[in-house]
């Protein structure tokens, strides 16, 4: 969807409204920052899987580097390495629909992390520039995924009140950076909502119903049980670091007040608040948990850090590195192969098989004029239609069995294969998994 929106925006020059297959795309009601970035990459580098996914990859890389830099300065080098490596080896942060695909979640997660880090720096140093930069990044998070970013506003304010207590007015409301940042957030709201409404009448009503409305109603059949996120986080997406994360809770209760405890308190408030909202939201999607992994990584780093600090291993750089290497080898290996594998369930793979076939045709330099006899959502196939067009090849997408002699057709859906074989005499050019590539006689 995002790739199609970006390609069509680059072609039609309408930078305020997303299009899909030549029509206004109401399905993508998110703000357009990611699409604008992808359009810029299309115009400078060209349209490909790499350019569409590059913003997500850079966002994840930037998140890890930003977390490392902040923790190194506020705590120390060892803690920064442990937390950053935990984040790097969290499958929920790196893989499908997160760091490796052309979705908005990775970019929003980076901006949310930057928002929190600069707010934490302000809480520790009370410099006006930090609170301004925090609200600047919060504005960018809103321009990326609007309502999802807004979930973090309340826990940030809760932490501020708990930390400053009676001094909130003294420090927060007397900061020039706070008012400049709030003005920026308000301007951002005007730009993404009301300006979009001018170019796409009905947008405000649709986005409040479709996006904010996910809290109270099921969108596109994405309904799951209350433990959906907890189950996936602790048994799959954060599985290697579940025990260290849980151990961090009693450690936090018994810690003296230090920078580590302050930051850990902030992390737990953010994690609990965000998880509470997405857990009780009626619509649930697996990758909605992505923004909390940097904060979970910080928490999970605490017991590992204290173990190294309070044993003989912590007194030697060599032993510390050896233990860290052993500790992270299996999680890193698992994350690496999971991120490279692009594995689908058998059902999903059948649904996506046309796009996979077209991708392999391009990689093997076998792209030719052809037709995809298709059923269902055609986002991936449409992307390859554009790729084929850039190579001077004609790729048609048909939903009805209306073919001409000599036409080359790929079909993967069982019911469509039956219709094709029943109505046409064909020569089989290739059997591709459960799909067939044929020429009509």
Identify whether residues 208 and 248 lie together within a single domain: yes
Residue 301 has a pLDDT of 95
User: Looking at the chain, how many residues does it have?
Assistant: 441
Please say if the pLDDT value at position 169 is more than 90.
Answer: no
Identify whether residues 137 and 66 lie together within a single domain: yes
Q: How many domains does the chain have?
A: 2
Question: In terms of pLDDT, which residue wins out, 29 or 83?
Answer: 83
- Work out the average pLDDT over 110-130: 93
Identify whether residues 316 and 387 lie together within a single domain: no
What sign does the dihedral 158-230-244-141 (CA atoms) show? negative
Task: pLDDT band for 92, please (50, 70, 90 cuts).
Answer: confident
Identify whether residues 58 and 112 lie together within a single domain: yes
Residue 33 has a pLDDT of 93
CA distance 370 to 385: 10
Residue 49 has a pLDDT of 85
Please say if the pLDDT value at position 348 is more than 70.
Answer: no
Percent of the chain clearing pLDDT 90 (strictly above): 42
Identify whether residues 133 and 33 lie together within a single domain: yes
408, two tokens: 């080359």
Identify whether residues 154 and 27 lie together within a single domain: yes
Identify whether residues 8 and 70 lie together within a single domain: yes
Task: For the beta carbon of residue 129, count every other beta carbon within 10 angstroms.
Answer: 15
Identify whether residues 141 and 225 lie together within a single domain: yes
> What domain range is 190 assigned to?
2-341
Identify whether residues 337 and 351 lie together within a single domain: no
The predicted-structure confidence for 382-408, as pLDDT tens digits, reads as follows 998 998 988 899 999 999 888 999 999
Are 22 and 12 in contact, with CB atoms under 8 Å apart?
A: no
Residue 439 has a pLDDT of 93
């Amino acid at each position: 969807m995002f790739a199609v929106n970006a390609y069509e925006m680059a072609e039609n020059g309408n930078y305020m409204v997303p299009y899909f297959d030549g029509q206004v795309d109401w399905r993508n009601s998110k703000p357009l920052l990611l699409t604008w970035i992808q359009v810029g990459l299309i115009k400078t580098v060209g349209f490909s899987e790499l350019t569409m996914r590059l913003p997500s990859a850079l966002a994840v890389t930037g998140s890890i580097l930003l977390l490392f830099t902040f923790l190194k300065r506020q705590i120390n080098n060892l803690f920064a390495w442990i937390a950053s490596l935990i984040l790097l080896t969290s499958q929920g942060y790196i893989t499908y629909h997160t760091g490796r695909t052309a979705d908005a979640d990775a970019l929003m997660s980076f901006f949310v992390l930057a928002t929190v880090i600069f707010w934490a720096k302000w809480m520790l140093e009370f410099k006006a520039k930090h609170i301004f930069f925090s609200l600047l990044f919060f504005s960018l998070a809103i321009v990326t995924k609007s309502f999802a970013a807004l979930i973090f506003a309340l826990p940030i304010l809760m932490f501020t009140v708990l930390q400053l207590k009676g001094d909130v007015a003294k420090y927060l409301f007397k900061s020039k950076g706070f008012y400049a940042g709030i003005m920026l957030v308000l301007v951002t709201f005007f730009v993404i909502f009301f300006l979009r409404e001018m170019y796409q009448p009905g947008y405000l009503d649709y986005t409040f119903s479709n996006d904010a409305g996910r809290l109270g109603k099921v969108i596109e059949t994405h309904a799951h049980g209350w433990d959906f996120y907890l189950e996936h986080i602790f048994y799959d997406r954060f599985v290697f670091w579940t025990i260290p994360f849980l151990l961090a809770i009693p450690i936090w209760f018994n810690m003296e007040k230090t920078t580590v405890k302050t930051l850990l308190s902030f992390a737990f408030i953010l994690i609990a608040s965000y998880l509470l909202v997405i857990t009780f939201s009626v619509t649930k999607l697996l990758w909605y948990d992505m923004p909390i992994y940097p904060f979970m990584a910080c928490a999970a780093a605490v017991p590992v850090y204290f173990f190294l600090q309070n044993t003989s291993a912590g007194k030697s750089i060599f032993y510390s590195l050896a233990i860290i290497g052993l500790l992270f080898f299996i999680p890193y290996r698992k994350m690496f192969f999971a991120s490279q594998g692009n594995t689908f369930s058998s059902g999903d793979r059948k649904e996506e098989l046309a796009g996979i076939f077209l991708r392999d045709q391009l990689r093997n330099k076998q792209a030719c004029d052809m037709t995809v006899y298709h059923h269902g959502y055609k986002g991936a196939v449409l992307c390859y239609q554009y790729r084929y067009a850039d190579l001077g090849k004609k790729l048609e997408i048909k939903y009805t069995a209306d073919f001409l002699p000599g036409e080359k057709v790929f079909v993967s859906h069982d019911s469509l294969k039956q219709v094709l074989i029943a109505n046409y005499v064909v020569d089989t050019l290739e059997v591709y998994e459960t799909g067939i590539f044929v020429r009509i006689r």
